[in-house]
Structure 1
């Protein structure tokens, strides 16, 4: 019996539930009220349940109708997403964009940008690569991503650069670290007396360069989580810019 279900019937059902009456649904859908009543009646026959209680002045969702409403809405969302994806294929829109992202870039900024993009292109998916420092440029040059976000100052004639934002960085240490107990402003010479936890640069383009490294004693780690954990554990280290 369910083979006779139509998307139109389901959209009418959702519209009646949202507007609260057959008349209001008819106005929203630019139809006559009898067509709305007919669509709901056919849907109820197909589902073999009563969706609305019509005994009062306004139709009220039954328990079955309220339960099925969420399922119908989910189906319509999937159908709309499929149609948007199909339109994107026809227009040559990228279905997935790969971004090579330096982990030092502020994630809230990225999240807001992706949310704004999704409003205009809901069918496009994103793949985010974690690529420290020059690794973002490498991924772009090797066609492993469509967009690279990096904090390095590498200049390459094959890459078009655009400034996105300024990221302020500071030296940090655990609360019980000697540097945190200092009673005077910290200078570079004081930082240089302690181990610095530095992010490893896996890139062949910039791997031999250090960014913001002030201490001759440095430990290199592969990711920010390890760096943060070592600092908070009380390791004799301060961290400035990743190097």
Structure 2
């Protein structure tokens, strides 16, 4: 029977399993031993099972008693989480924080901020999704995410509250084995048009706005890591975030391209924003995360 089962009975069962005796459980829970014995007897009668072997000097859990004590721990932990979430919400902390992250966002400071968030708001449920280009903005518009860390191109929309977090430099690069790496001069548009350009693209709207296109053929990628793999393999050229390629350049695997003046109009720096909808304000934890990220990235 479940209807009459109480958390108090489960707490008694778990405490006996931990302390090893009814008398120690009475002291732990500040009750007389007879009340503990009655609670166990009631629980056994309700469930139709024997939880303890009482034939020895000290009660021992039966096989079914051990299994049910383990289940009782899970139920008590879940009930504790239930109460903690309710208390946090009463204090103004959102019950869940959903994040959507653009592929250009640097990983290291994000990990540190999320670790600090978990330590500060121990009962907060955080959901996390890495999106292709344009996906993070769609998430906050649909309400599936409260906070997005993303690019907003060509400009910040009027209905989005956006806070600049970081300027990311984009460097045109090729594999050291690529023909463009062998040119001993500035690269022109005519040079680039002979080769494949590896483009980070919106997987939902690949024919939407594009920036900095100069290749004769475009290979489109939703995943920044996979694009880097193809870049290193020599399949084409592209503009990459500096923090992802500095080690490859130092090791000689990638070579920066010096662009002719005609190609320098394309943006070499893009801004990562923290963004949410104007009509959906962040909760306490969301604002805390935004402040923490701002502090870490400014350093």
1:122 maps to 2:123: yes
SS at match of 2:45: helix
Cα root mean square deviation, aligned: 4.8
Take 2:38 and 2:167, find their aligned partners in 1: how far apart are those partners?
Answer: 57
Distance change >3 Å, CA 144–CA 47, structure 1 → 2 = closer
Question: Where does structure 2 lack aligned partners over 5 or more consecutive residues?
Answer: 242-269, 271-299
**1:61 maps to which residue?**
61
Structure 1 or 2: more strand by fraction: 2
Task: Judge conservation of contact 2:199–2:218 (CA < 8 Å) in 1.
Answer: yes
| Pick aligned residue for 1:207 from 165, 188, 209 | 209
Provide Cα deviations, 1:24-77, integer angstroms capped at 9, x if missing partner. 433433333433333222212222222223344543321111122232233333
* Paired residues of 2:7 and 2:76 also in contact (CA < 8 A): yes
Distance 1:168 1:66 in 2: 60
Q: Aligned ranges for residues 116-195 of structure 1 at < 5 Å?
A: 117=117, 120=121, 122=123, 124=125, 126=127, 128=129, 130-132=131-133, 136-137=136-137, 140=140, 145-150=145-150, 156=156, 159-161=161-163, 163=165, 178-179=177-178, 195=196
User: So what's the TM-score if we normalise by structure 2?
Assistant: 0.55
Q: Give the 3-state SS of the residue equivalent to 1:149 in structure 2.
A: strand
CA distance in 2, matches of 1:8, 1:198: 60
Provide structure 1 residue ranges, at least 5 long, that are not aligned to the other structure: none
Q: What is the total number of aligned residue pairs between the two structures?
A: 230
Q: Distance in 2 between matches of 1:25 and 1:172?
A: 70
Question: Is contact 1:96-1:125 (8 Å) kept?
Answer: yes
Contact 1:198 1:220 in 2 (8 A): yes
Cα separation, 2, equivalents of 1:172 and 1:15: 65
Distance 1:35 1:167 in 2: 70
SS in 1 for 2:199: strand
Alpha-carbon distance between aligned partners in 1 of 2:40 and 2:63, rounded to the nearest angstrom: 16
- The 3 A distance-change label for structure 1 pair 167 and 8 is farther
Distance 1:221 1:20, change over 3 A: farther
Deviation, 1:154, is 7.5
Structure number with the bigger relative contact order (C-alpha 8 A, sep ≥ 6) is: 2
| TM-score relative to the length of structure 1 | 0.64
